[in-house]
Amino acid sequence: MLPFSVNFRPGEPVYEQVTYAVKRAIATGQLAAGSRFPAVRTLSQELRINPNTAHKVVASLTAEGVLLVHPGIGTIVAPPAAGSAADRSALLNGELERLVVEARRLGLDEERVVAAVRGHWRKFQRIQ
């Protein structure tokens, strides 16, 4: 059994949905730093996704530094990024830009976006 779940939605790439589910599981504490991550085969079988898609998920998360691959040991969840708070915040720039673009497209003002972010932040604090 996987330590996270995915509610697949049509119209979104499967690997992006799985990648997001893994990141969410880490953010909520379902997957702790240092814990073993399922093998590609297990991921593919449990989620009923193509093995190539499962491999793409692991490769993407590894490239982002979310997972670490240790030959002979397996794949584990990486510890939180080291460095200053500014360095770590810089990792979010792309995600923040997408959020702002989408919010503006929807006609939302800054206050509504900040309130939504605060709401989600608090929700994740309750989960941990």
Span 117-125, average pLDDT = 87
Higher per-residue confidence, 89 vs 18: 18
Does the pLDDT of residue 128 top 70, yes or no?
Answer: no
Closest-CA residue to 55 (of 43, 66, 67): 43
The amino acid that residue 68 corresponds to is L
Residue boundaries of the structural domains of the chain: 14-77, 85-127
Q: What is the pLDDT of residue 60?
A: 95
Distance CA 47, CA 28 (A): 20
Span 31-53, average pLDDT = 95
Q: What is the pLDDT of residue 38?
A: 95
Measured CA to CA in angstroms, residue 100 lies from 27, 104, 111, 122 at distances of 21, 6, 12, 20
Q: What is the pLDDT of residue 89?
A: 75
Under 8 Å between Cβ of 77 and 34? yes
Span 36-42, average pLDDT = 95
Least confident of 15-19, 47-51, 89-93: 89-93
Q: Give pLDDT tens digits for 65-108.
A: 899 999 988 999 999 876 667 766 776 787 888 899 999 999 99
The fold of 14-77 is Arc Repressor Mutant, subunit A (1.10.10)
